Structures are given as structure tokens and as C-alpha cells.
Amino acid sequence: MNGISVRFARAGDREQLVRMRAALWPESSAEEHSEELASILAGKPPTVLPLVVLVAEAADGTLAGFLEAGLRSHADGCNEGHTVGYVEGWYVAEKFRRCGIGAELLRAAEDWAREQGCAEMASDAQIENEVSQRTHEALGFEVASRSVNYRKRL
């Protein structure tokens, strides 16, 4: 992690965050990511519960990765009597992977969740994303359950 620092995102990070979010969530347009980030960075997330963006910044100002953490009223496998910290999105740029940046982002998110009164942190990964699953497990997450999600338009 030489020369990398983790901090809360600022409005000036938006352009770089849009690119990373587009890599993580390609189903949304850059414009959609930009609009959502504008709200989040202004302290007005699209959810009623708090949501923060943490970034890993290289010495030259380049963002190496980000983690969006929020609070949820519940999460599968967690104590239903307490609010849970939740990893909503987690991304490290390819050239910065495998050097501890993801772990540092997660540690900062866990610290934030503890400050919010959480005793647990939860997350999810797509069933086909084995790299993400291995990363989660290497950093202390346990599999709570596996499911197939369905929807039906009405």
C-alpha cells in the first residue's frame, strides 16, 4: 500500500468514481452513476439510511479503488435486532489489485460502521464472481446463505 491513503470521497473525486463504478456496474450509464454520486457526495443518498464512499488515493491523486458502505436494517445471517453495516460496492482498479488496498478500504468501512453502532458487517457477491467470493472470505466474511433471486413485473 505504498503511497496509498484511504479517505472519504469528495465532490472532486466524482469523475474518477464514475469510471470505476461503470467498471463495477456496467448495466448503468455514466450519467446515472454521475447523478447518483452527486447525491451521495452531497450527503443525500438515494436511501433513507446513511451511505458513504471511501476511496484509496495514490500519491499522484489517482484513485486506486473505492468502497461504498451503508447501513441496512437487516441482512441475511445477521442479528435482526441491530442495524448492519453493508458493503454496497467494492472495487479496486486492476493495476492496484493484490497489494492490500481492498483490505484497507474494508477496514475503513468497518470502522465507520462501528462508529454508527454496528456490530456486524455484511456484503454480497454475484454467484459467478469467484474472485469476489474468495476476497470476502480471505478478509473474514462467512457465507451466510446462497440464493437465487427472482422478480416478476406486474
Residue 117: closest CA among 67, 79, 144: 79
Superfamily assignment of 5-138 in CATH?
Answer: Gcn5-related N-acetyltransferase (GNAT) (3.40.630.30)
**Strand pairing of 51-57 and 5-8?**
antiparallel
Band of residue 27 on the pLDDT scale cut at 50, 70, 90: very high
Confidence check: pLDDT of 5 > 80: yes
Residue 106: pLDDT band with limits 50, 70, 90: very high
Nearest-angstrom CA–CA distance, 46 and 61: 27
The pLDDT value recorded for residue 14 is: 95
Mean pLDDT score, 94-117: 95
* Residue 1 pLDDT: 65
The alpha carbon of residue 19 and the mean position of all alpha carbons in its chain are separated, in whole angstroms, by 15
Nearest to 105 by CA among 92, 94, 114, 122: 92
- The pLDDT assigned to 80 comes to 86
Tens of pLDDT along 59-74?
A: 999 999 999 999 998 8
